[in-house]
Amino acid sequence: NAGVTQTPKFQVLKTGQSMTLQCAQDMNHEYMSWYRQDPGMGLRLIHYSVGAGITDQGEVPNGYNVSRSTTEDFPLRLLSAAPSQTSVYFCASSRKVTGSNSPLHFGNGTRLTVT
Amino acid sequence: AQKITQTQPGMFVQEKEAVTLDCTYDTSDQSYGLFWYKQPSSGEMIFLIYQGSYDEQNATEGRYSLNFQKARKSANLVISASQLGDSAMYFCAMREGRTNAGKSTFGDGTTLTVKP
């Protein structure tokens, strides 16, 4: 199993450009989420999804859109890139369980630089 | 207020010794879970250990154990017999509630360096 696959690994954008970060998982997990990691900080939740067709905002959603048309895929769209969006982006998935015992499975991350 | 606090930005430990990484949390939920993740310099995030709020025993996974003190709202990670490969950043995270939608809150992390 591949687990959670993110592409691309690295990306450089100019201010104002748009792009889509791809995320796919093959574990049939119900939950998927996007986090960003800035230097010296932990991960902050951007958007999440509890299933196909259902998405919601996390802690830092501004400037990003998501959609979830299938269980497997959860792309993150940057509408108009800004230097403040320079960060490492992680996609994660987890099983739907009653209770909290369901760790996040992470992709390998996308390092995005906006100039 | 921060929900997860890791007060040690950096820690050093001698190879083969034990080390404790601190984590305190804040929640009003009775049902929650606490997780530790490891991030090596290569950048991936690796799940290490989980502790549920209703678990009476401290969690253990190989050389990792979680010192859970519910009244003090602390969930410290103990790594026994440190190895050079343990050098990494470690994140404490919390998932609140019984239907949590996969959302977790992370601390700012502790960078652990194991000295030979």
Q: How many helices (H) and strands (E) does chain A have?
A: 0, 11
- Chain B residues with CB under 8 Å of a chain A CB are 4, 9, 31-33, 35, 37, 43-45, 47, 50, 52-53, 91, 93, 95-109
**Can the peptide bond before residue A8 be classed as cis, meaning omega within 30 degrees of 0?**
yes
Question: Which of these, A25, A98, A72, lies nearest to B95 by C-alpha position?
Answer: A98
Classified as helix, coil or strand, B22 is coil
Phi first, then psi: give them for residue B45, nearest 5 degrees: -105, 125
In chain B, whose CA is at the least distance from the CA of A106? B45
Residue A9: its pLDDT value, please?
96
* Segment-wise mean pLDDT, segments of 10 residues, chain A, 115 residues: 92 97 96 93 93 94 96 96 97 85 93 97
- Assess contact for A83 and B83: CB atoms under 8 A: no
- Of A58, A99, A106, nearest to B44 by CB-CB distance is A106
DSSP A91: E
Contact flag A109-B44 (C-beta cutoff 8 Å) = yes
Nearby residues of A7 by Cβ (< 8 Å), 6 or more positions away? A21, A22, A110
Pick B59 or B96 by higher pLDDT.
B59
Q: What percent of chain B shows pLDDT beyond 90?
A: 87
- Assess contact for B51 and B66: CB atoms under 8 A: yes
